[in-house]
Amino acid sequence: MITLKSKQEIEIMAEGGKILAEIMKELESKAKPGIKTRDLDKIAHELILNAGAKPSFLGYDGFPATLCTSLNEEVVHGVPSERILKEGDVLSLDLGLLWKGFHSDMAVTLPLGIVDFEVLRLIRVTKKSLKLAVNRTRPGITFGDLGNTIQRYIESQGFGVIRDLCGHGIGRELHEDPQIFNYGKRKTGPEIKEGMVICVEPMVTMGKKTNLKKMDKWGYKMADNSLSCHFEHTIAITEQGCVILTKV
């Protein structure tokens, strides 16, 4: 069941989303060649606690960290470790926090140092597909319309939409209904309504195939080891359109 949030609840989620966005900005500044992904996780954990919030991911389905760090062909839910970031890596950071009883969730993908032009284009296209989806989202369209917006743009740029993973509703629970796919047909699926709060998160591959492979209990990577990219925002649907909650 899709739960609608009141204006007061959305205001609380906006507070948490702003805190999350500020923490993510700090993590982006720390993500440099030479640092361990486990060190980024420690920084994220400390920043969340110092803000008076709680980590959303730590302990979720047994997940052992606060931050997800996924490198190169890894798509989502990579567990931070002793792995050291190096020049040319592509790093996705995915983070969530709990603030006054409500979750927020966001993800970014970063090039570390000098990378190929096509890698930069992959990142730009994925980020732009999220922006296009946000601009398209308003009461009255369907989730099929939203997914179709993402799919058409990504595929027009020669990249592939990862279909085995999706976005989700969010609120008092980290993952709520509905599932939000990054592909679809126009005028299909549930109608988007005022009061919905959702996580839109395009996941894109540079490869020809979009098959995934499990890395462990939590993480997924591309089966063909092609590079992947992931961006995510928590957004609220209002009478006028939608508002990004996870931005400074």
Distance, in Å, from the CA atom of 230 to the CA atom of 207, rounded to the nearest integer, reads 14
Instruction: Classify each residue of 136-173 as buried b or exposed e, where b means 16 or more C-beta atoms within 10 Å of its C-beta.
Output: bbbbebbbbbbbbbbbbbbeeeebbbbeebbbbbbbee
Distance, in Å, from the CA atom of 168 to the CA atom of 154, rounded to the nearest integer, reads 20
Distance, in Å, from the CA atom of 83 to the CA atom of 79, rounded to the nearest integer, reads 10
In the predicted structure, residue 208 carries a pLDDT above the cut 90? no
Check residue 230 and give its pLDDT: 98
Question: Taking residues 202-219, what's their average pLDDT?
Answer: 94
* First and final C-alpha spacing in the chain: 30
Distance, in Å, from the CA atom of 245 to the CA atom of 236, rounded to the nearest integer, reads 7
Give the model's confidence band at 125: pLDDT under 50 very low, under 70 low, under 90 confident, else very high.
Answer: very high
Mean residue pLDDT of the chain comes to: 97
Give the model's confidence band at 137: pLDDT under 50 very low, under 70 low, under 90 confident, else very high.
Answer: very high
**pTM of full prediction above 0.95:** yes
Q: Phi and psi at residue 133, in whole multiples of 5°?
A: -65, -40
Q: How far is CA 161 from CA 40, 56, 175, in A?
A: 28, 26, 21
In the predicted structure, residue 221 carries a pLDDT above the cut 90? yes
Question: Taking residues 71-79, what's their average pLDDT?
Answer: 98
Distance, in Å, from the CA atom of 17 to the CA atom of 194, rounded to the nearest integer, reads 18
Question: Taking residues 130-153, what's their average pLDDT?
Answer: 97
Check residue 240 and give its pLDDT: 81
Domains of the chain: 7-244 (3.90.230.10)
pLDDT in tens, 145-195: 999 999 999 999 999 999 999 999 999 999 999 999 999 999 999 999 999
In the predicted structure, residue 73 carries a pLDDT above the cut 90? yes
Q: Phi and psi at residue 100, in whole multiples of 5°?
A: 50, 40
pLDDT in tens, 80-118: 999 999 999 999 999 999 999 999 999 999 999 999 999
Question: Taking residues 16-23, what's their average pLDDT?
Answer: 98
**Beta partners for residue 70, in sequence order:** 92
Q: Is residue 149 a contact partner of residue 247, using CB atoms and an 8 Å limit?
A: no
Q: Is residue 125 a contact partner of residue 173, using CB atoms and an 8 Å limit?
A: no
Comparing 13-22, 96-105, 222-231, 239-248, the range with the smallest average pLDDT is 239-248
In the predicted structure, residue 241 carries a pLDDT above the cut 90? no
